[in-house]
């Protein structure tokens, strides 16, 4: 077996491994394993549980009131899927 050495060999080896596509694809994941997925419970009454989300959009101008809207607030009630979408003005 041949032995090789050159100055700064360790640094060069690390640099090569950082840029090698094969090394990057085979690298072990450092993330913990995902847990089990459980469905959300089904509720018996409407309008008691809801999901909300805010979406950022490019600025929208209402030409009648001259108000600038940049976000949308989405509300979805879980049992009946009733959806409410509200534009939010810039502050």
State how far the Cα of 12 lies from the Cα of 20, in Å rounded to an integer: 12
Q: Map tokens 């003005």 to a residue.
A: 89
User: What phi and psi, each to the nearest 5 degrees, are found at residue 15?
Assistant: -60, -40
> Can you give the pTM of this predicted structure?
0.49
pLDDT along the chain (91 residues), means of 10: 80 88 80 86 82 84 76 89 87 68
The residues spanned by each domain of the chain are 47-91
């Amino acid at each position: 077996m041949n032995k090789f050495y050159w100055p700064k060999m360790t640094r060069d080896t690390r640099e090569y491994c950082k840029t090698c596509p094969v090394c990057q694809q085979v690298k072990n994941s450092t993330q913990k394993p995902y847990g089990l997925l459980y469905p959300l419970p089904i509720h018996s009454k409407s309008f008691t549980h809801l999901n909300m989300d805010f979406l950022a959009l490019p600025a929208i101008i209402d030409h009648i009131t001259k108000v600038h809207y940049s976000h949308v607030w989405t509300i979805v009630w879980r049992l009946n899927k009733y959806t409410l979408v509200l534009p939010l003005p810039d502050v």
